[in-house]
Structure 1
């Protein structure tokens, strides 16, 4: 039975995980670790640490790592060393450095390591993937994906310039902050073999990170030698918040809308899009499903849907994209540690 839970970081996502943890474990001793002194007790928490070693001494059975990405591995490695099961918010880190070591520690300690790419738990995305695997539109020819939201509008009650997304030293930038797309594209279409990328700051926002990313991703060829290509546009600049993925096949197109939870099909020779699935999710739904899966993996000692290898794979794509943008050339994606 899980009796001790630690939440590392108390930003908006840390607060969400703290609330969900309390909902799932009303009688557990739940404490938080934050870099600032605890002047008052956070809602839903039983205690608060400002020192990592004190938090490790608490010996949590489960920990959620929800502090800024550059600090994920510091907390995670210390906790993995005592066998704490880890749910690490995305991205797993800001680079691949140190990730294989964490994965090895978790393996040796028998600790579950799950990465928080919670979009995989959306019924609409799961249905989109299943239909493609069932050849609903025949052999796939191309993929177009886009996600964007105006950064100052993410949290209107806060100064966007001070948020994690806007600051390089905190792991911000569109590529890392919106890396869900890199994860689910790999989950649905397979391993990414190479990337051609452009990272840029197109707006006048007061940030020191890229606000726009254009990616051309080549996937590992299938058994027949066919190589699928995906184009992904990721940004902080568009006012019409968007999260859409369209797969183009020999027998039509299939489109997933991550905001409405709708999957639509356009048949070859048809005249319009037809709805084939619709599930409008609530904000907590995928996080709660993520938690329940995490706990099931701990209880049944099985590998999570999104493990350390998946988090590492995203960071390898990120690394290749950065190098491609700097060089202006297509860059192969490293597969070390996977």
Structure 2
């Protein structure tokens, strides 16, 4: 079994207080909400008819952040997805219009850990506004990109959940745990970090709670409703986590080959080993030597499925599958919805269950 060792380095993130002070003393909207003194959740009709000034205007960077935020806010805020369906988020940069819209918003929800290379520049540019920046990955243990993404010939320790010091807590409490503050690198790439924390349901729970805490602080009048909505969604994520545990517990093999190194957190959480063809960026092309090593590994381990993803070309996965007589299948990193996903009303939970089904099938062949 090919094994990997992921390095963990501390990455600082803004405390909630710092987030609330990024551009001032908070949102005018938050003040309006607080003055009502009401924590009851209005009906859908009441929410829809509420004056715009009483509703948070929230920008969410890419799909998982949008999905989590919508589930927290229900009908009590206006949430806009910055990166539209069908666009690969690694390729997206905000236009001047986008940046102006973010500056005018009450809240920006983004993943962090280097996923949105543009985020810090936008936040800095909004320093004269009342924008509250919510970094959903704040407080999480962020993996560094491993040399394994570039050199499959080295021996590595398995990226399973039992690795000392790298276990995820199953007490999915507040994300701001002692010793887990991180200083994220906001370059135009991931800065060597793996930002794909949302693909681990346990990590997703902690992101949801981080977002909920910040939105409740921004709009105290809606805090009780946000909390109730958050807990209802967390219960669904906990059920998803349990399904992954049961579904992947006794598979015949633990290694899976994927085109994009997006599944390290998921692999670590459920005792699997991700073997990425390329690196953290889905556009990264492997060298001929790396391709040859992957082919040799797949043959040696009787791999019958090579995973590729939506939104980018499957040509590399197709070439390896053809070379070894394997088939290809989709493992969706949920960086955005495809047009087909949108038409079929897919969401985070349904696509994650499709990922579980695909993994279970491939690991039991």
Given the two structures, how large is their TM-score scaled by the length of structure 1?
0.30
Larger proportion of helix: 2
**Which structure carries more relative contact order (alpha carbon 8 Å, separation 6+)?**
2
TM-score, normalising length: structure 2? 0.29
Higher strand share: 1
